[in-house]
Amino acid sequence: MDEHKFCFILCTNNDILLSEAIHYISHLIIPDGYTTELLTVADAKSMTAGYNEAMTASNAKYKIYMHQDVFILNKNFLSDVLSIFQSDASIGLIGMTGYESISADGVMWHAKDRLGTPYKRKASYPPLSEYRYSLSEDGYQSAAMIDGFMMVTSTDYLWNTESLTGWDFYDAYQSLAFLLHGHKIVVPAQRHPWCMHDDGGVLSLTNYNRYRQIFMNTYKDMLGRHYSEIPAAAKDEGS
């Protein structure tokens, strides 16, 4: 494992979006002493299968799983996530938006306590050129779940290909995997959003309910619970 390496991992089926996502990645400032690599998985069987393929192919300690329609705006993204990981060794997963609790119906965004700053038109942000995250002043908040458009890890756990054969719920499952293994999940407070997620404003939910039912059956004891109520001791549940 290379402790000084970041790996960007993207499953892709659209060259135009991928190319633009890479354009923004290519403008990030790489912290001194660190290297980066980029792994793309074209036309994967499922999100979990694609992520596992790339995860096992990379020896980078830090892996950045992101959608092809995500554009990283914060040029200091890498040093900022590094500062968060280095501030607390138990932090295993960082997201850009997340929730403190697991929604009772399994639908992540139905939880009331959303964390993070999604990019919105007509919102008021400091100019990007002047924005700089400060771990001590801005900080981060703990989460139970993070949105899968951007998931940054400092340790590897296999993505669940057995239950998840599509493009939904991989984020909820992986969030719980980290919590049940005793890791913290955090979302940085972002005065300027670190990323833009250009998902067209509409979620594709045609297969979502199938995986929601599986998730609710597997983790029925976790539904409605706050992250602080999910003990690492329960690590074997549902795995």
Partner 1 sequence: MDIFSQLNLSTDKFFQELNESKEIIRTSWSYITGTLDAALKGQDSKSLLALIPYIEQGEGTPAYEHIGESRQILRILHIVRLELTYQKTPFFLHCADKDSLMEKYMLSLFALRRLFFRLSEDSVKEAEDWLLRNKLSVFAIYVIIQEDFIFADNALYGKIAELCSAYWDDGDKQLFLSLTAGN
Q: Is 110 in the site for partner 1 (CB under 8 A)?
A: yes
- With CB under 8 A as the contact rule, the residue among 97, 103, 117, 174 that binds partner 1 is 103
- Smallest distance, Å, CB 21 to partner 1? 10
Neighbouring C-beta atoms of residue 172, cutoff 10 Å: 26
Tell which positions 7-46 bind partner 1, by CB under 8 A. Answer: 16-17, 20, 23-24, 27
Instruction: With H, G, I as helix, E, B as strand and everything else as coil, classify residue 170.
Output: helix
Q: Give dist(CA 16, CA 205) in Å, integer.
A: 23
φ, ψ of residue 189 in degrees (nearest 5): -75, 125
C-beta of residue 177 within 8 angstroms of C-beta of residue 234: no
Q: Is 129 in the site for partner 1 (CB under 8 A)?
A: yes
- With CB under 8 A as the contact rule, the residue among 43, 200, 233, 236 that binds partner 1 is 200
CA 7 to the chain's CA centroid: 13
Q: Give dist(CA 95, CA 37) in Å, integer.
A: 20
Binding piece for partner 1, criterion CB under 8 A, among 32-40, 121-129, 146-154, 181-189:
121-129
Using alpha carbons, select from 79, 89, 81 the residue that is nearest to residue 65: 81
Q: Pick between residue 4 and residue 120 the one whose CB is nearest to partner 1.
A: 120
- With CB under 8 A as the contact rule, the residue among 126, 139, 182, 224 that binds partner 1 is 224
Q: Is 130 in the site for partner 1 (CB under 8 A)?
A: no
Neighbouring C-beta atoms of residue 119, cutoff 10 Å: 18
Q: Is 182 in the site for partner 1 (CB under 8 A)?
A: no
**And the tokens for 158?**
């296999």
Tell which positions 59-78 bind partner 1, by CB under 8 A. Answer: 71, 73, 75
Q: In the Cβ-directed half-sphere of 228, how many Cα atoms lie within 13 Å?
A: 2
In the complex, which residues of this chain contact partner 1 (CB under 8 A)? 16-17, 20, 23-24, 27, 71, 73, 75, 103-107, 110, 119, 121-123, 125, 128-129, 196, 198-202, 204-206, 208-209, 212, 223-224
